[in-house]
Structure 1
């Protein structure tokens, strides 16, 4: 039998860090549009095939998106 169990304390600390409300916004740090951007890249869930041989798959494309932090508008898009 344990006299002191750390699991309750660890759970309480994790809850206070992970489940707390987020106060504020990243937009408060940005002065205006065009000052800061976010870049995200992901492998698309499609498979490209050759136009010559349809049964030969080439690869899955990578999609990159650039978003303006202040306006949250997409300012760039690349599929490679």
Structure 2
């Protein structure tokens, strides 16, 4: 998803089918911008847990990562 704000100051989240990565570039995913939204979860996410995710690429092998769960009140700069 990507969070955007319209001219009237209304925020919305828009589904993104894919994120384009060009050679030697990176994308930072964070609240309020591009982010991964986990939907249809079977259990509650608790701070301290790690979630396994599989990232799929068009021209590269899949990559498995583990993403830590932080409290909802955590500011992005606090976890770098």
TM-score by length of 1: 0.27
Q: Which is strand-richer, 1 or 2?
A: 1
Q: Which has the larger radius of gyration?
A: 1
TM-score by length of 2: 0.27
Q: Which is helix-richer, 1 or 2?
A: 1
